[in-house]
Chain A
Amino acid sequence: MRYLTLTAAIAATLAVTATNPAFAETDHKIVDEPLELRIQMNHKRYPRYIEDWPVEIEARKMTNIHLKDATIGANARSDENSGKTEALNLMLASGSIPDIVGSSRIKDFVNQYGPEGAFIPLNDLIEEHAPNLKAFFEKNPKVASALKAANGKMYYIPYLPDGKYGRAYFMRTDWLKKLDLKAPETVAELETVLKAFRDGDPNGNGKKDEIPFFARQWPELIRLVTLWDGRSSGSDTYHDFMVNGGKLEHPYAGVGYRDGISNLARWYKEGLIDAEVFTRGSSSRDYLLSENLGGMTHDWFASTSGYNTSLEGKVKDFEFKAIAPPASVSGKRIEEHRRIPIKPDGWAIGHTNKHPVETIKYFDFWFSEEGRRLANFGVEGQQYTMVDGKPQFTEEMLTNGKPINNQLYQVGAQLQARGYFQDYEYEKQWSNKFALEGIALYDKGDYLIDQFLGVAFNKNEQKVYDKYWPSIRDYMLERQQAWVLGTGDVMADWDDYMKQLNKMGLEKVLAAMQSAYTRQYGG
C-alpha cells in the first residue's frame, strides 16, 4: 500500500505539473458527430444529472458526447448507512437501464446484477480503448483487484479519493504547556498525561471535572487498542476484517485486542475515559471542547482542527492540535484510520448501451489530465485559473463563505457518482492551517498502514457470511462493551469468548472471506 500511495502521489504531481500550452490542446474528441448517451445519476447531493452543469457543458465541448438525464427515483436517496439504493431498485424495476448508471453505493449493486447481464463487463473495453484507465490500473493493481466482482470481471469505474489522512489523535496542547508536560511519545507517557489532565485541573476552574479522553463515535475509543498492538478494524469501516500477511483475520479475535481492552477497561475505571463515551454521541466534541472539559480525542483532521478557529477567544488559550500517535507497548507507532483509496461509488455501463466503446472512451476521458482537472476543479476561468501550471481556485470561490465542495457540486465537479480520481490539491487550497500542520506531522512520521479493500463474494460465500456474521458481530460488540464498562473481565473471559466465537461460526466466515480474497487478490 505504501507503494500504491507513492505512485498515486507521483501520478498526482505529474498530472498538475505537466501543463505546457501545447499539451493542453490535446484532442479529446471521441466522436465526430455529437452523440447522446442517457444517464441515471443518484447521489444525496445531486439526485439527478443536470445537463446545464458547466462541467458537463465543457466535457460536451471537449468530447462531443452529451449526457442526457434519464434518472428514475431522483428523490429517493440511498441510505449511507445500510447502503440501500432504492433509486437503483426502482430503475431496475422499470425495466429500462440507461446507457450509463452512476450512483453512490453502486458497487454491490453492479456486482450482483452485472454478472446476471444488467451491466457490461469493462475489462476488455478498458484493455482496448481506455489508455488512461489502463495505465491507472497497471500502476494500482490492488485497486484493480478490489474492483473485481466474484466472476473476476470489473463492472464499474469508481470514485477514487485522494489524500490519505482521515482521523488523528488530537490533544489540548495548551493544557500540556500549562501542566509542563510534553506531547506523549509512548503509551506509558500517554497514561501519565491523561492522569495529569484528570488531576492537575488544567482548565483552572478548581473542580476535578476534566474528561481526559472522549470520542464522538465510541469505536474511536476501541481504536486505542492499537497502543497495545491490537487492531479495531482493517479498513475505514468500523469493526471490519483485516489482512495479516495475506491471511484474513478479525481484529476482535486477536491477543493485542485482548490486552488493549483490558487496559482500556482499567483507564475507564480510573476515570481517564469519558464515563459517557458510549452514549454521549455526536455532540460530545462540541460540548466538551466549548465547555473546556475535554482533553483528547481521535477524530477527523479537517473538522477537529476547525475548533482552533471557532473557539478562539471563547475558551482561554484554546489550542487543540494533532499529536503523533504514541508508540505502542512494542514500540510501533501507527495510525489505524486513513481514507480508503477506493469508494463503492462510481459509474457503470448498462446492457442496452449501443455505444459501449464510445462510453468507455468517455469514462477514460475523466482519467486524462484535462478530464481529471475538470472533474476536480471545475472549468478554467470560472472556478479556477492556472497559476504556475497549477489550478488555483478563484478568490471569489475561496472567500464567499460557502464551503468549496458545495460550490463544486453545484457546477458538476467532484461528483462522486462519476468515476474519477480525486486530486488532494483541491482540498488543500481551502484546508485549515492547523489541519495542514497536523497532516504534515503525520506525513513525516509515515504512520499509516495497509488497508483491507474488501472482497466480492460468490453465492456460497455470501450465504455463509449472511448466516453467521451478523450474530458473531453482535456478540463481539456486546462483550466488548461489557469489558470496557467493567461488567466482565476480558482476561478471565478470553478463552470462553474465543470458543464461543468459533462455535458461532467465525472460522467458517473467515474461510469464506479467505477464499474470496485469494480469488480476488491472488493470495
Chain B
Amino acid sequence: MKNMNLYSRGDKIFVRINMVLLALFTISTLYPFIYIAAVSFSSGFAARAGVVVAAPVDTTIAAYKFVLSAPEFWQAYMNTFIYTIGGTLMSLALVIPAAYALSRKQLIGRRFWNLMVAFTMWFNAGMIPFWLNMKDLGLLDSYFGIIIGFAINAFNIILLRNFFESIPESFEEAARLDGANEFQVLWKVFVPLSKPAIVTITLFCVVARWNGFFWAMVLLNDEGKVPLQVYLRKIIAELSDDQEFSASLMSAPYSVETVTAAIIVCSIIPVLLFYPFIQKYFNKGILLGGVKG
C-alpha cells in the first residue's frame, strides 16, 4: 500500500478491485466457521428455525454444557489424539524408509516394487475382505489395529520418493565418502533436506487421522475406543431421533443442530492451533545452500 503512488491509475483500480475480491473470498471461506460457531451458541429453537445468520440468536451455552458434561465426549476426544499422534508417528516411521528404499537405484527390482506400491492406489480388495483380514490378524477393536492398519498410504510414499529422487546424487556420494552407511545417509542427509516434504506428509496424516471416521466405525466394537467423529455421528443420530419422537425436547435449550455445532467447534480447535506452527514449512525453499560450488 505504501508504494501505491508507483502504480498507474489503471493499476490502482486493478489493485483495489483485487483487494475487494480477495476480501470477499476470505469471508466466504471464513463464513462456515463463523456460522457454526454462531449456531453452537444459539438456542435450539433458533437453530432449528434457521434464523441464525452470523451472530448467535438467544445466546446460550446449553449446547456446550450438554457436550462437555458427557464423559464419552472426553474419552472420544482422547482417543482421537491417540489415533492422530500414534498414527502419524507410525506412518512417518514406515513411509520414510519405504520412500528412501524405493528412491535408491541400488534397490534390486526397483521398478517392480514401485509398481507394486502404485498398484494399491488403484486396486484394493474392498471392505469385507479387508475387515476379514483385520479380524484374522486379531486387530479388530484395538487401538493398535487402527494405528497400524492405516499407517501406509501409497500416495505419500510416492510423493516422498519423488522428493528423495530429486536430491542430487552428489549428496549421497559425499556422505558415503565420509563413511556413512545407509541409515546415516537417510537420517543425516535425506531427512534434514526433505523437511518440507515430510511436514507436508505429516499434515496429510494428521488431517486424515483427525477426520478418520469410516474404518474406525467398522473396526471398533467398543464404544470406549471410538474417535470423536464416530461419537459425533452417534450423538446426531440419538438427538434427531429424540427430536422427531418426543415433544418434550422441543423446549430444551439445545437441539441436534446446536450440539452438533458445539462438537464441531470443540473438534477443530486443536487443528486450528496446530496449523500455524507447520505452515511456515510450506513456503520454505528446497535445498537452500545444499551444494556449494
Are A75 and B242 in contact, with the CB atoms below 8 A?
A: no
Contact in complex: A303, B250 (CB < 8 Å): yes
CB nearest to A403 among chain B residues:
B246
Q: Within residues 210 to 263 of chain B, which ones have a CB less than 8 A from any CB in chain A?
A: 216-218, 220-223, 226, 230, 233-234, 237-238, 241-251
For B129, the closest partner residue in chain A by CB is A93
Contact A403 B249 (CB under 8 A): yes
Q: Give the contacting residue for B131; candidates A90, A305, A309; CB below 8 A.
A: A90
A404–B243 alpha-carbon span in the complex (Å): 12
Provide the residues of chain B in CB contact with A403, threshold 8 Å: 242, 245-246, 248-249
- By a CB distance below 8 angstroms, the chain A residues around B48 are 282-283, 286
In the complex, are the beta carbons of A93 and B221 less than 8 A apart?
Answer: no
Residues of A within 8 A of B50 (CB): 283, 286-287
Complexed CA–CA distance, A144 and B2 (Å):
84
CB of B136 to closest CB in A, whole Å = 10
B45 x A302 contact (CB < 8 A): no
Given contacts A287-B49, A310-B251, contact A75 B221 (CB under 8 A): yes
Interchain CB contact under 8 A, A405 and B222: no
Distance from A286 Cβ to chain B, minimum over Cβ atoms (Å)? 4
Interchain CB contact under 8 A, A44 and B218: no
The answer to whether B132 has its CB under 8 Å from any CB of chain A is yes
Contacts of A94 in B (CB 8 A): 132, 135
**Shortest CB–CB separation between residue B116 and chain A, in angstroms?**
26
| Residue from the set B50, B223, B250, B251 with the largest chain A CB neighbour count within 10 Å | B250
Closest to A72 in B: B221
B24 is an interface residue with CB less than 8 A from chain A: no
Interface check B121, CB cutoff 8 A: no
Q: Contact size class for B? A: 20 to 34
Q: Is the pair A90, B248 in contact by a Cβ cutoff of 8 Å? A: no
Task: Please tell me if the beta carbons of A93 and B218 are within 8 angstroms of each other in the complex.
Answer: no
**Contact for B216 among A75, A89, A291, A310, CB less than 8 A:** A75
A75 and B244 in contact, given A286-B45, A286-B48 (Cβ under 8 angstroms): no
Chain B positions 130-182 with a Cβ under 8 Å from a chain A Cβ:
131-132, 135
User: B128 on the interface (CB 8 Å rule)?
Assistant: yes
Let me know if B51 is at the binding interface, CB within 8 A.
yes
A428-453 contact mask (Cβ, 8 Å, vs B): 1 or 0: 00111001000000000000000000
Residues of B within 8 A of A148 (CB): none
Q: List, in ascending order, chain A residues with CB within 8 A of B222's CB.
A: 74
B22-48: contact bitstring with A at CB < 8 Å (1 yes, 0 no)?
A: 000000000000000000000001001
Most buried by B among A309, A403, A405: A403
State in angstroms the CA–CA spacing of A406 and B237 once bound together: 13
Of all chain A residues, the one with the shortest Cβ separation from B243 is A303
Q: Judge whether A73 is part of the interface by a CB distance below 8 angstroms.
A: yes
Bound-state Cα–Cα, A404 to B247, Å: 11
Judging by beta carbons under 8 Å apart, are B233 and A48 in contact? no
B250 touching A76, Cβ below 8 Å = no
Segment 419-433 of A: residues with Cβ below 8 Å from B: 430-432
Report the minimal beta-carbon distance from B224 to chain A, rounded to whole angstroms: 11
- Residue A86 CB within 8 A of the other chain: yes
* Complex interface: chain B residues within 8 A of A307 (CB): 250
Residues of chain A in range 152-205 having any CB-CB distance to chain B below 8 Å:
none
B248 touches A75 (CB 8 A): no
A290 within 8 A of B: yes
Query: In whole angstroms, what is the CA distance A291 to B245 when docked?
Result: 23
Report how far A51 CA is from B226 CA in the complex, Å. 20
Annotate B96-135 by CB proximity to A: 1 below 8 A, 0 otherwise: 0000000000000000000000000000000010011001
Distance between A76 CB and nearest chain B CB, rounded to angstroms:
5
Inter-chain contact A303/B244, CB cutoff 8 Å:
yes
A71/B221 in contact, CB under 8 A:
yes
Q: How far is the CA of A287 from the CA of B47 in the complex (A)?
A: 10
- Asked whether, in the complex, the Cβ of B218 is within 8 Å of the Cβ of A76, the reply is yes
Our count of residue pairs bridging A and B at CB distance below 8 angstroms stands at 99
A305 to chain B minimum Cβ distance, whole angstroms, is: 6
Cα–Cα distance between A510 and B161 once the two chains are bound (Å): 60
Complex: A317 Cα to B245 Cα, angstroms: 26
Interface string of A302-319 (1 = CB under 8 A from B): 110111011000000000
Least CB distance from B48 to A in Å reads: 4
Q: A218 on the interface (CB 8 Å rule)?
A: no
Q: How far is the CB of B290 from chain A (nearest CB, A)?
A: 49
Residues of A within 8 Å of B, CB-based: how many?
A: 39
Q: A430 to B223, alpha carbons, bound, how many Å?
A: 30
Q: Is the CB of A405 within 8 A of B251?
A: no
Determine if B246 and A405 form an interchain contact, defined as CB atoms under 8 angstroms apart. yes
Output the nearest chain B residue to A47 by Cβ-Cβ distance.
Answer: B223
Q: Which of B132, B242, B248 contacts A93 (CB 8 A)?
A: B132
Task: Return B69 CB to nearest CB of chain A, in Å.
Answer: 13
Chain A residue with the shortest CB-CB distance to B221: A74
Q: How far is the CB of A415 from chain B (nearest CB, A)?
A: 13
- Taking a contact as CB atoms under 8 Å apart, the answer to whether B238 and A45 are in contact is yes
CB of B217 to closest CB in A, whole Å: 5
Question: Distance in Å from the Cβ of B276 to the closest Cβ of chain A?
Answer: 33
Q: Nearest Cβ in chain A — how far from B168, in angstroms?
A: 49
- Which residues of the partner chain B approach A72 to less than 8 Å between Cβ atoms? 221
B247 touches A309 (CB 8 A): yes
- Nearest Cβ on chain B to A417's Cβ, whole angstroms: 14
- Chain B: minimal CB distance from A51 (Å): 14
Nearest chain B residue, comparing its CB with the CB of A94: B135
Residues of B within 8 A of A432 (CB): 247
| Of listed A44, A286, A291, residue having the most chain B CB within 10 A | A286
From A432, which residue of chain B is reached at the shortest CB distance?
B247
- Using CB atoms, name the residue of chain B closest to A92: B128
Q: Closest approach, in angstroms, between the C-beta of B73 and any C-beta of chain A? A: 15
Inter-subunit contact A287/B251 (CB<8 Å): no
B128, B220, B243, B248: the one contacting A89 at CB < 8 Å is B128
The docked-state distance in angstroms from the alpha carbon of A90 to that of B128 is: 7
State whether A310 touches B244 (Cβ < 8 A): no
Q: Inside 8 A of B221's CB, which chain A residues have their CB?
A: 48, 71-75
Residue of A nearest to B222 (CB): A74
| Chain A residues, CB < 8 A from B49 | 283, 286-287, 290-291
A298 within 8 A of B: no
Q: Counting CB contacts under 8 A, is A300 at the interface?
A: yes
Query: A32-74, CB under 8 A of B: which get 1 and which 0?
Result: 0000000000001101100000000000000000000001111
Chain B: minimal CB distance from A2 (Å): 26
A337 at the B interface (CB under 8 A): no
Q: Is the CB of B233 within 8 A of A77?
A: yes
Option from B128, B131, B233, B247 in Cβ contact (under 8 Å) with A303: B247
Given contacts A90-B218, A300-B244, A403-B242, 10 further A-B contacts (CB under 8 A): A47-B223, A73-B221, A90-B131, A283-B50, A286-B45, A302-B247, A307-B250, A405-B242, A405-B245, A432-B247
30 A-B residue pairs with CB within 8 Å: A44-B234, A44-B238, A45-B238, A45-B241, A47-B223, A47-B234, A48-B221, A48-B223, A73-B218, A75-B218, A75-B221, A75-B226, A77-B233, A90-B128, A90-B218, A94-B132, A94-B135, A282-B48, A286-B45, A290-B45, A303-B243, A305-B247, A309-B247, A401-B248, A403-B246, A404-B248, A405-B246, A406-B246, A430-B248, A431-B247
Counting from the closest, the 3 A-B pairs by CB-CB distance are A306-B247, A286-B49, A306-B250
